[in-house]
Amino acid sequence: HWFTNNISNKLILKDYTFTKKSGIHGGVALLVASGDIVFEAMRGVEELSIESHLEMCAVKLPRYEIQIIGAYGPPSGNMQCFLSQMDYSLTCHQTA
């Protein structure tokens, strides 16, 4: 795959978190300008991604009780697989 240690050291920016280092195409990004916004990466979301069908990342804003999920489905992916996994993912991350 394209992500080598040599490349990763050049890509990682100060105060940024990079969570997915595998795969060869596509992906999704979620940027939070964190001046006074307290946020945390939602772990476990990346594991719900299915290579070539659904890529996901997410953050939680505790002060506002909000979860933000970024999702991408490549045009060549299986739409039924995308919808089914997206439904499952949203069910797993519901808040009260």
Could you tell me the residue ranges of all domains in the chain? Answer: 5-92
Q: Is the pLDDT of residue 74 over 60?
A: yes
Mean pLDDT of 81-87: 94
User: From CA 66, how far away is CA 55, in angstroms rounded?
Assistant: 20
Q: How confident is the model at residue 96 (pLDDT cuts 50, 70, 90)?
A: very low
- CB contact at 8 A, 29 and 36: no
CB-based burial, 55-75: b 16+ in 10 Å, e otherwise: bbbbbbeeeeeebebebbbee
Report the range of poorest mean pLDDT among 21-25, 39-43, 53-57.
21-25
What lies within 8 Å, CB to CB, of 17 at 6+ separation is 41
Q: Is the pLDDT of residue 56 over 70?
A: yes
Question: Mean pLDDT, the chain, as a whole number?
Answer: 76
Helix (H, G, I), strand (E, B) or coil at 89: helix
Percentage of the residues of the chain whose pLDDT score is greater than 90:
12
